[in-house]
Amino acid sequence: MGAAAATLVAAPAIAQTYPNRAIRMVVPYPPGGGTDGLGRITAERLQEKLGQPIVVQNVGGASGTVGSETVRRADPDGYTLLFNASLFALGKTVVPSCPYDPQTDFRTIAQAGEAPLVLLANNNVPGTDYASTIAAIAKEPKKYFFALSSGGSAGHIATLAFLKKTGLPLDTILYKGTAPANADLVAGNVQLFMDPWTALLPLATSGRARGLFVTSKERTKLAPNIPTTDEVGLKDFHMSSWYGLWAPKDTANAVVDRLAAAMADVSKDPAFLEKTTSLGIVPTARGPAAFAAFIEGEVETHTALLKESGFKPE
């Protein structure tokens, strides 16, 4: 009873004093990528809401598991946080050596944003729009290959869902990142590639590849000539890469609530909205419970798609 009483007293005290020093935000990838970019924008605005500096630390390695494990082992005091992308939620499904369970070893704080996807075709593929291009591919499907930037990525999952929805029997080629896949798409070594539009839209807007659709509900101002999936007849095909903030699993409710409230403020901050919009990121405002429920649904759907496709993680 004494311990329980102490906990009840401690929670309000934590809420009143947290944070009172600098916070470390671990991004489990090298500097310069999409996750790192959004993480730094988020940290910049979040530190203003919390009144304490946030230091972004890049801890790359093993498809993001090294940095994520660093946070899992950290003290659950709210001073070490994880900023990660949707691939993180699949855990051992895509990284067999993953030392943690993303859903039970971490506490969700908030979803920070999402990046819809774009489907690109090499310029030499017959057709001028989605319908004519897919019709041409369907006549000789073995001539065409789909690039995948990495196993279990948002683009990989979306490609599997697309092939299932359309019934196209296309082979896929797995790359080690978006850059080499982009290069082979432009060169014509692969003919189709779907990945977050943050990295692929420049190919379409520069004319180096043809944009067939975007997976957002509305067209993007960054490439207004590319239709949505709904417009081309793929109803409710709205997949994206998403990003969020986590803490170690034993982090106190008061700390999580404080961080979630600050993240809700960040999602409405004009400077945050301006920067994310310019990058093609759509801000979201899912808090701890809604974010956890969203992840559960994503993991269930994505794991089933990977299993059905026969995907074997390396």
Residue 219, number of CB atoms within 10 A of its CB? 15
Residue 220 has pLDDT above 80, yes or no: yes
Residue 172's DSSP bridge partners are 146
pLDDT tens digit sequence for 120-167 = 999 999 999 999 999 999 999 999 999 999 899 999 999 999 999 999
**First and final C-alpha spacing in the chain:** 49
Q: What is the pLDDT of residue 2?
A: 55
Strands 240-248, 106-121: pairing kind = antiparallel
Q: In the 8-state DSSP scheme, what is residue 82? A: E
Instruction: Fill in the amino acid letter for 146.
Output: F
Q: Is 260 helix (H, G, I), strand (E, B) or coil?
A: helix
Cα separation of 211 and 200, whole Å? 9
Q: What is the pLDDT of residue 5?
A: 52
Q: pTM score, two decimals? A: 0.89
Cβ neighbors of 286 (< 8 A, separation 6 or more) are 110, 111, 244, 294
Mean pLDDT value across residues 202-222? 96
Cβ neighbors of 104 (< 8 A, separation 6 or more) are 249
Q: What is the pLDDT of residue 9?
A: 47
pLDDT tens digit sequence for 155-198 = 999 999 999 999 999 999 999 889 999 999 999 999 999 999 99
High-pLDDT (> 70) share of the chain, %: 95
Q: Is 312 helix (H, G, I), strand (E, B) or coil?
A: coil
Degrees, nearest 5: CA angle 96-173-235: 95
pLDDT tens digit sequence for 230-256 = 999 999 999 999 999 999 999 999 999
| Structural domains for the chain | 2-115+241-309 (3.40.190.150), 116-232 (3.40.190.10)
High-pLDDT (> 90) share of the chain, %: 87
Residue 8 has pLDDT above 90, yes or no: no
Q: In the 8-state DSSP scheme, what is residue 236? A: T
Residue 4 has pLDDT above 70, yes or no: no
* Nearest one of 85, 87, 81 to 43, comparing CA atoms: 81
